Chain A
Amino acid sequence: MSDREKEHEGRSPAQRRPAGGGPGRGMPVMGEKPRDFKKSWSRLARYSGRYLPVFVIAVLCAVGGTALTLIGPDMIKDVTGVILDGLASGIDTAAVTDKCLTLLTMYICGSALIFVQSRIMANVSQGICRRLRSDISSKLNRLPLRYFDSTTHGNTISRVTNDTDTIGMTLNQSLGQLITSVTMFLGSIVMMFIENATLAAIAVASTLIGFAFMSVIIKRSQKYFGSNQKYLGAMNGHIEEIYTGHNIVKAYNAERAAKERFDDLNKKLCDSNWRSQFLSGLMMPLMGFIGNFGYVAVCVAGALLAMNESIKFEVIVAFILYVRLFTQPLAQIAQTATTMQSTVAASERVFELIDEEEMAPDAEGVGKRGKARGEVRFESVRFGYEPDRVIIKDLNAHIEAGQKVAIVGPTGAGKTTIVNLLMRFYELDGGVITVDGVPTSEMARRDVHDLFCMVLQDTWLFEGTIMENIIYSKRGVTEEQVVAACKAVGLDHFIRTLPGGYETQLGDSANLSAGQRQLVTIARAMIEDAPLLILDEATSSVDTRTEILVQNAMDKLTRGKTSFVIAHRLSTIRNADVILVMRDGDIVESGNHSELLAAGGFYAQLYNSQFENS
């Protein structure tokens, strides 16, 4: 599987949103629906409990800052009043300056409060995000491997990155905005009614009519957004598929068919595209309309009232400003509501992982013992990946210290199951596996792992220097030991030819061949130097000369160790003391090469099919 595919596994094409957020722009695109809104919020609130005191301060700042802004129009009204009073007689500029200075101070204080609130929320949200990521990461190390074998990497990774990001964004922006918006909304209503009830009622009513109108449009438009996402996904999927299979499309002259499907999708996409684009584009003119409509209503109604002398003219000035303060937060509240929804869906996913059941804690009592000899026994081992599907029914085997065990079977026969059980990556359903007579289930997992060195077929290296890759987590390893291990596997000379020698960074630029990577992992296992060994022989993609090196290195590694080899080479199989033959997950035969051949069972059949001339 290519890296690109890995990037996308676990996500359907439809979920792959285009960069830039699609037709977002102020339009409440339908977010993912969380399953239990309230529960997830309270889980997130409990998780963020330690931030509660600062959060309360932030809320107070937001409310205070907004309240100061809300007093503005009232003060402006007073200023207007002073000017109007002096229109004929001469304006009291000292009084105006006085009032204006007060208001300016209030505005500055208000802004300062909002600034403090934003800073606090930035700190809180990033702190929570960071903790979420850390918790997920350390959680991963406590989860049973069963979890990873049944979940795609993409799925887990997106919880570490996308989902925590979404949560952070909401906490940082939306939550603060929600508080100020609500305060602004309620506050401006209160202020308007204090100024003049009639005019206030007219202002509120006229804006609400506009919003009712808008919500109808939003409701109707949702289905276009849905279908737009769907076609976008289908289109991206088709393009990805055709580009990835470019040589096949060419080789089979399938360009025309691909083009036909593309044109069909492109037409449908264009159609749904302009609709959703248009509808999301409507939001701005609509907001403008609502603002204007409120403005007109206040102006006209205010003027009529002023003519009647039931209000003073400056009240109209105040209302013009209040209508603006009143309409702005409404749109923001609507927008925040949808972000909240996808946030809850994200936190649901994150907490699902954080609350996932962990491995049973290690049993107490059995401490680390001296150097193990490496005698392994399987006694009536029973195991299944799913509880109702037992695949290993009753495995009994006795491996003396220092013996070699070959595990053979066709692809997909479940050879890695044995590794999973030996390393205690999975727990047995019945029976015991003992090392030197001690059941592995009674040891701490760390100690079980310490008993084994392991070289797997997919050569896992990480970003770091060659030296770091070989030493890995082992402590107290000298450089001489690393060099000795590399010399033993025949890698030393090659490493010295690299520009940085042992300190060469292994990165994306694949500067090691598959075989060399394999050699590095073998060297790593040599440094680990545990009494037992698990080895997965490589099958392909290694050039012949390196292949010989790898084989020699593997032979050296198995010396003096009880080894379990997932074998592909016949020489390994023939030389093994015990061969475990696997088929469809179960061990169907065991014995050595000549015994198994003589038995004429599955092994014999496999052996013959592999090497017989067809």
Chain B
Amino acid sequence: MRMPDKSEFLLQVEGVSLTFGGVTALRDVSFDIRKGEIRAIIGPNGAGKTSMLNVINGFYHPNRGAITFKGRTRARMQSFEASRGGIARTFQNVALFKGMSALDNIMAGRTLKMRRGLLWQMLRYGPALAEEIEHRNRVEEIIDFLEIEAIRKVPVARLPYGLQKRVELGRALAMEPDLLLLDEPMAGMNLEEKEDMSRFIIDVSNHYGTTIALIEHDMAVVMDLAHRVVVLDHGVKIADGTPDEVKQNQGVIDAYLGVAH
């Protein structure tokens, strides 16, 4: 196999370790994410998957190791750098503004793209208005894309869980991210909702060309969606490769099915 050239990587994680007091969440984990691919991070409960995402988007700072994002290497990523640099994410437990409409929630995703200051926006006049129309247009495209026209004006607290997840994906997309981090996008969904969400993830990848890293428990989904899979267990990377390779890997099978000691 040809060694991919450096510029093909959007993100590289090298030797990252993360501890909370005496607990080691991640131990010397290295992997990379290529531009445009769907990369899955899987592992049993407590394997460190969410910690890994939190390290990537700067919410946690690793004790050791480095992260290279878009060619810039940092020991630690700051949250604002991550979001300005084009990393957006959704959360394992939906984190939306419950009282706001689906539309307003997605508009909130445009905040970083707004150029006019608070005062202009409060006046909602002239350039601020033109800007808002432009942002609204982008948001409407996302609403159309995710087929949530019918719930545009509905407060998200009143929506079923599957739709809330979709709104959250919409908000992340509104940032026009280069790297989209999805933390268990299909947790708690029924079969139909899962299939819808899978289709949207594939569509996002095809349509917007967004690079996606996702954590998922449903193995069938991961095998269908992901181009490459990283497997973590107890904070250690135990496998890395295409879904087929990973499926054959004895370490992975042991980690998931348990092994007699």
Q: Do A and B associate with each other?
A: no
Interface residues of B (CB under 8 A from A): none
Interface residues of A (CB under 8 A from B): none
